């Protein structure tokens, strides 16, 4: 089990020094819900009091606390994906089957103003295929991808009057990425078919179906490869560390939100999360030529990787919460995630060390993700003054087009069934948990014939202390 922990950021002395680990794909790469109160209700959060997790959803909900109240939440999540890939009679199962995600938040309400700070995982994705699989062999040992994006959030919310509240949050966002990806230069018949490195490069006669590759290093490979049908070109920037990614970048994002109490039973809300503005991810690595007949590395070229303009998408959410009875609340959100503006392609630059003349390779892998509409439905019922139970659905279509599905980035799960509960340990402390299950989804790349299968569970546990 791999526990990949992003570097920890201290936002304030009142926040526990917890980092965010790499998460696996849920709604694309975005978590289906932040915090067990929201996740237990299918991810609904726009018009609900979900504790400090509101800063990661709709910051205006933070005004739903009582005046003078302070709350600290400490949480841990465990994402357990089940992913496999097949090509004809060959198949491979991902060993990346468990990812831990700590989080913490603090909020205080003073008069009409609520403010705080928190550390949350935003999302990610990852796989790990062993050296004995066809994907690992092409990468020269094992094939893997691990992406994690986290944030430190500084929210402020204001209760304009008894009905209207507004809020905003500034996010410091960071991301880590490891990748080992190998592609045969040509297929077994000597053609630059889709999925081979030759298809990316005009130097090998490729049609650039899945992307493009150019630069002095790409041109030079044509002269270095003596047997292109039994040689793989492998990109390697992975440190196999539990605490960092080989490439990393950081930047900012922001959220705006509002809630409006229509009457004592009905509340509506909405929020907008800006697309992130992170620096290019950079880090050391190498490009390799791998002999597919022996598994040996035929050549290793050290250098520096730059992942250009990788961003998390903008998202808009609107929702309602209705108190059907004194003990039962139902909620519904609709979120629009703008993947088309952030996952159009994946741009990678490799610059060889000076000892190799500083040769370059510029690679663009097409993604062309579709925008995603997510419907989140939930219900919460107070069984007693100590116990609240929740259930929900998270409904969405897979944003990844068949033509560009990559086995290292299979963000293809769709619908989720969720549930959870909160139990009051004492007057000040509560324990909350949620479980989300995404049934198996199967998808085949229409260009390469590779088939990915993906299902997963997401368990979250949180302790809340009010004072």
In percent, the amount of the chain with pLDDT more than 70 equals 94
CA distance 396 to 438: 11
Angle at the Cα of 79 from the Cα atoms of 74 and 80, rounded to 5 degrees: 150
Residue 113: pLDDT band (50, 70, 90) is very high
Q: Does residue 23 lie in a domain region? A: no
Q: Does residue 21 lie in a domain region? A: no
Taking residues 77-84, report their average pLDDT: 90
Angle at the Cα of 449 from the Cα atoms of 417 and 127, rounded to 5 degrees: 50
Q: Does residue 16 lie in a domain region? A: no
Q: Does residue 20 lie in a domain region? A: no
Residue whose entry in the numeric block shows the structure tokens 């990806």? 181
Q: Does residue 29 lie in a domain region? A: no
Burial zone of 325 (CB within 10 Å; 0-12 exposed, 13-18 middle, 19+ buried):
exposed
Residue 88: pLDDT band (50, 70, 90) is confident
CA distance 53 to 32: 13
Q: Which range of residues forms the domain containing residue 412?
A: 36-466
Using one digit for the tens of pLDDT, what is the confidence trace for 389-427?
999 999 999 999 999 999 888 889 999 999 999 999 999
Using one digit for the tens of pLDDT, what is the confidence trace for 196-211?
999 999 888 899 999 9
Q: Does residue 188 lie in a domain region? A: yes
In the chain, how many domains are there? Answer: 1
Decide if pLDDT at 265 tops 70. Answer: yes
Taking residues 131-145, report their average pLDDT: 89
Residue whose entry in the numeric block shows the structure tokens 């603090």? 106
User: How confident is the model at residue 16, as a pLDDT?
Assistant: 28
Decide if pLDDT at 442 tops 60. Answer: yes
Taking residues 150-163, report their average pLDDT: 97
Q: Does residue 48 lie in a domain region? A: yes
What predicted TM-score, i.e. pTM, was given to this entire model?
0.90
Burial zone of 242 (CB within 10 Å; 0-12 exposed, 13-18 middle, 19+ buried):
exposed
- Read off the CATH number of the domain in which 87 is found: 2.40.160.60
Q: Does residue 430 lie in a domain region? A: yes
Residue whose entry in the numeric block shows the structure tokens 């298809």? 199
């Amino acid at each position: 089990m791999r526990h990949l922990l992003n570097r920890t950021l201290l936002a304030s002395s009142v926040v526990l020094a917890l980092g965010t680990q790499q998460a696996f794909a849920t709604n694309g790469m975005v978590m289906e819900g932040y915090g067990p109160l929201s996740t237990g209700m299918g991810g609904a959060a726009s018009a609900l009091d979900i504790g400090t997790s509101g800063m990661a959803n709709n910051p205006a909900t933070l005004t739903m606390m009582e005046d003078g109240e302070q709350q600290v939440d400490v949480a841990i999540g465990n994402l357990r994906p089940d992913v496999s890939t097949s090509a004809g009679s060959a198949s491979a199962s991902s060993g990346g089957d468990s990812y831990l995600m700590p989080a913490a938040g603090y909020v205080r309400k003073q008069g009409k103003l609520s403010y705080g700070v928190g550390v949350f995982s935003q999302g990610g994705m990852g796989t790990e295929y062993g050296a004995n699989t066809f994907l690992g062999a092409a990468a020269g040992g094992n094939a893997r991808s691990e992406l994690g994006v986290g944030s430190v959030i500084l929210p402020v919310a204001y209760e304009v009057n008894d009905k209207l509240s507004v809020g905003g949050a500034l996010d410091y966002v960071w991301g880590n990425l490891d990748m080992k990806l190998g592609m045969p230069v040509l297929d077994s018949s000597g053609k630059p078919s889709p999925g081979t490195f030759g298809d990316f490069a005009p130097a090998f006669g490729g049609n650039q179906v899945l992307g493009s590759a150019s630069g002095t290093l790409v041109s030079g490979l044509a002269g270095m490869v003596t047997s292109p049908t039994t040689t793989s070109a492998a990109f390697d920037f992975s440190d196999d560390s539990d605490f960092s990614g080989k490439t990393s970048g950081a930047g900012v994002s922001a959220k705006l939100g509002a809630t409006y109490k229509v009457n004592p039973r009905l509340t509506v809300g909405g929020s907008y999360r800006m697309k992130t503005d992170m620096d290019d991810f950079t880090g050391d690595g190498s490009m390799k030529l791998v002999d597919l007949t022996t598994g040996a590395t035929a050549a290793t070229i050290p250098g520096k990787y730059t992942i250009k303009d990788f961003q998390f998408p903008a998202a808009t959410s609107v929702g309602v919460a209705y108190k059907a009875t004194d003990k039962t609340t139902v909620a519904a959100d609709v979120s629009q995630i703008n993947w088309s503006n952030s996952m159009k392609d994946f741009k990678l630059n490799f610059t060889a060390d000076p000892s190799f003349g500083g040769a370059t390779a510029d690679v663009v892998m097409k993604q062309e993700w579709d925008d995603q509409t997510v419907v989140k439905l939930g219900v919460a019922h107070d069984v007693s003054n100590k116990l609240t139970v929740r259930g929900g659905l998270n409904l969405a279509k897979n944003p990844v087009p068949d033509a560009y599905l990559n086995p290292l980035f299979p963000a293809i799960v769709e619908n989720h069934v969720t549930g959870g509960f909160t139990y009051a340990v004492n007057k000040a402390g509560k324990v909350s948990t949620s479980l989300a299950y995404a049934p198996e989804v199967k998808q085949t790349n229409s260009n390469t014939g590779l088939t990915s299968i993906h299902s997963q569970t997401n368990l979250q546990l949180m302790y809340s202390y009010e004072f």
